[in-house]
Every structure is written in structure tokens, then in C-alpha cells.
Amino acid sequence: MHTRTIKLTDVKGTRNSASPENLLLIAVRAMPAKIESEAELSKGDLWVFGYGSLMWRPGFEFIELVPARLIGEHRALCVYSFDHRGTPEKPGLVLGLDRGGACRGIAFRVAAKYRGDTVDYLRSREQTTNVYREVMRSVWLEDEARRRVSALAYVVDRGHVQYAGRLSLADQLRHVQQGHGRSGNNRDYVLSTVKSIEAQGFRDQQMHQLALMLHEG
């Protein structure tokens, strides 16, 4: 089991650019991004694998949407959010692809002419603190042809300070309840993801259990 504890000094009064949480965010953003080279991003149409908020808010133009399965990594609330759904002072918790198992999600096909713009958009959205590794992964499309395609995916960097490891449900609940960032509150992020998973006709046991706890709380 891999867990980390984020400890920051409480700051009284008005925040400023030198506060501990802002200094930590600046330091995290300065970490090098792990991205694919142009050569590794194949030419032609681009497939993107969504497993979290991309399923319900992709934010880019696509020409095809297909339920898909990625084998070798699983969906997990394993990333402390310092930006979109939390702050360094009160981290939220967001999803990453972590090693082992499999993940069902959605594969989006992007027309070749929008490839560059889409990659730029995804990097600006997913890599604000460089907590993910940008990789190409084989995914199996759950359509009649059962095609296998190579898709762009964002996998958690286990060496990053924001990697939370495998947290207990109680710890997940605490972070999600406290989390609020520039993209909104953490609770909505989790519930919207669960709703999207249900719309695809399957369940994610841990995500559904956390959603139930959020409703009860």
C-alpha cells in the first residue's frame, strides 16, 4: 500500500503569493511534464481515452464516441487535487489511471485536422501540475467490430508529490467533502463521474460506494 500525507502550515488572515500553499503549487507546476513526442503521437485521426471527467465533459470536438476498455491500468481516486478540485491547503481527490487491472471508459475519435488543437487543450487541462504521464495505450472498443486502437491516455505519475496511493474510503470521503477548486467542488466531480459510468451500463464498485457515502453525508 502506498499512501502519502500532505501537511501544510495553517495560514491566518489574508493569503498572499508567499503563503505555503501557493509556494507548493508553484513548485509542483515547475515539475517537468511527461508528454509524448510528436513522433510518438501517430498521424491521422487521434483517439483519446476518457475515464473520469473527460467522459462527461470532453471539451473538444470529436467525430466518434465508443465505449472502450483499457487493460493494464485501473481507474482510481489516487491524485491529490491542488487546482481543479482542491487547493494545496485543502487538497481534493481526482482520478488517475494506476497500474494493474483494467478500466472501462470512453474512446473519442478526433479528426486529424483537430489533432494539434486537441492535444494542446488536453495538456492545458490535465497537466496543470504535471501529475500525469501522457502515453499512448491500446484500448479495445466495445462495438460490433471489437476494434483495438491506440489512444492517448493520462496515467498517474507515481513519483509525483500529488500521488495519493490507495486511500481508504474514509480518507477519500474526507478529501472529496473538503475539496473545492477552480473547476468546482469535488463532490460534483465524483457524482458526475458515477452518473456517466452508469450511463455506459456498468458499475465501479468503489466509486459507487463513495457516491453512496456522499449522498448519506
Chain segment 157-193, per-residue pLDDT in tens: 999 999 999 999 999 999 999 999 999 999 999 999 9
Task: Indicate whether 26 pLDDT > 90.
Answer: no
User: What is the share, in percent, of the chain residues with pLDDT greater than 70?
Assistant: 81
Q: If you average pLDDT over residues 38-51, what whole number do you get?
A: 80
Q: What DSSP letter does each residue of 55-111 carry, written as one string?
A: HH---S--SEEEEEEEEEEEEEEEEEESSSS--SSS-EEEEEEEEEEEEEEEEEEE-
Q: If pLDDT is split at 50, 70 and 90, which confidence band does 127 have?
A: very high
The answer to whether the beta carbons of residues 152 and 46 sit under 8 Å apart is: yes
Residue type, 113: K
Which pLDDT score, from 0 to 100, does residue 43 have? 75
Task: Indicate whether 123 pLDDT > 70.
Answer: yes
Task: Indicate whether 205 pLDDT > 90.
Answer: yes
Q: If pLDDT is split at 50, 70 and 90, which confidence band does 29 have?
A: low
Q: 190 Cβ partners below 8 Å, 6+ apart?
A: 77, 176, 207, 210, 211, 214
Which pLDDT score, from 0 to 100, does residue 217 have? 72
Q: 73 Cβ partners below 8 Å, 6+ apart?
A: 97, 98, 99, 100, 101, 102, 103, 137, 155
- Of the listed ranges 24-33, 73-82, 179-188, 199-208, the least confidently predicted one is 24-33
**What is the C-alpha to C-alpha distance for residues 68 and 32, in angstroms, rounded to an integer?**
30
Which pLDDT score, from 0 to 100, does residue 88 have? 94
Q: Which residue's entry shows cell 463521474?
A: 193
Q: If pLDDT is split at 50, 70 and 90, which confidence band does 23 have?
A: very low
Q: If pLDDT is split at 50, 70 and 90, which confidence band does 79 have?
A: very high
Which pLDDT score, from 0 to 100, does residue 14 have? 32
Please indicate whether residue 9 or residue 102 has the higher confidence score (pLDDT). 102
Cell of 198: 452508469
